[in-house]
Amino acid sequence: MPYLQPFDPWGSKLCTCPPKWSLNPYTGCGHRCLYCYASSFIPRFYEPRPKKDFLRKIERELEKLPENSIISLSNSSDPYQPLEEKFRLTREFLIRLASKKVNLLIITKSDLFLRDLDLLSKLKVVIALTITSKGLSEKLEPGAPPYEKRLNALKEIKKRGFKAVVRIDPLIPEINLEEAKEVLYESLPYADHYVLSTYKAKADSLERLCKAFKEKEHLLKRLYLTEGILIRGSRYLPLEIRQKLLLPFIEIIEKAGKSYALCREGLEGHEPKKGFCDGSFLLFK
């Protein structure tokens, strides 16, 4: 199976991402985020490992890639997870991109990408940092860098002139909403675009959250299992609750004059334009 795959979020009609290619140098992820959806379909997800023969295979695949394609790095396993410090597959991939006419969207929870700014400065790239919380990040994302490092990385790329997206994803009712709002206020001076998304539950991730936040177990199971809606294999909050959670964030972003998009939410009046949702439109500004 090729490592460069057309991005397809389970054929969801709610997805407004532009055509792009998805690439994960690693299988599984060491950030161990409780809410992660990818653990539901990737075996041994929390035992991350490098993709077999990654560099040799990706060199061949890049030769066949159409010019000006968008590569999303990555959608299920963070390209700058802890393994990258040892194996450096992401950096080696960036080196191989130097002679290619491609567009790059990096999605990460790590500040490790700062190591590669020498390479990224030579590429057409947008960097998307996922930041879900502050003090809770150690509990929600035990293997990921703390909030302060991510915020400092955001400030650094803003200073260097890179286009930056902040993904506040996911918003989890009764757990990270207040901290997420603080993240929003503190990141406003440095973000070019925001992506907002409510938590969409998979069976395994919901159990992890309920175990970690035992006092919220009854509420979470009622909202997702009893009242929630099943859409393309994920349990969504009822539409009116999603709207109630998202609108305060939207109002803050709009008041600041920044752009935003919602990821697979389907809120009437807030549907992003095609190609706008993931921030990749910034590649062409």
pLDDT tens per residue across span 138-173? 999 999 999 999 999 999 999 999 999 999 999 999
| Residue 18 binned pLDDT confidence (cut-offs 50, 70, 90) | confident
pLDDT score, position 1: 86
pLDDT score, position 11: 64
**Domain that residue 148 falls in:** 5-284
Half-sphere exposure of 229 (CA within 13 A, CB side): 11
pTM for the predicted model, two decimal places: 0.94
pLDDT score, position 285: 82
Half-sphere exposure of 198 (CA within 13 A, CB side): 29
pLDDT tens per residue across span 53-75? 999 999 999 999 999 999 999 88
pLDDT score, position 277: 82
Counted domains in the chain: 1
Q: Does residue 88 surpass a pLDDT of 60?
A: yes
pLDDT tens per residue across span 215-249? 999 999 999 999 999 998 899 999 999 999 999 99
Which CATH number belongs to the domain containing residue 260 in this structure? 3.80.30.30
pLDDT score, position 36: 97
Q: Is the dihedral of CA 207, 208, 209, 214 positive or negative?
A: positive
pLDDT tens per residue across span 109-139? 999 999 999 999 999 999 999 999 999 999 9
- % of the chain with per-residue pLDDT over 90: 86
CA gap 67, 253 in Å, rounded:
34
| Residue 17 binned pLDDT confidence (cut-offs 50, 70, 90) | confident
Longest dimension (CA), the chain: 54
| Residue 9 binned pLDDT confidence (cut-offs 50, 70, 90) | low
The residue-averaged pLDDT of 15-30 equals 90
pLDDT tens per residue across span 262-284? 987 877 766 666 557 899 999 99
CB atoms within 10 A of CB 28: 22
> Which residue do the tokens 């989890």 mark?
172
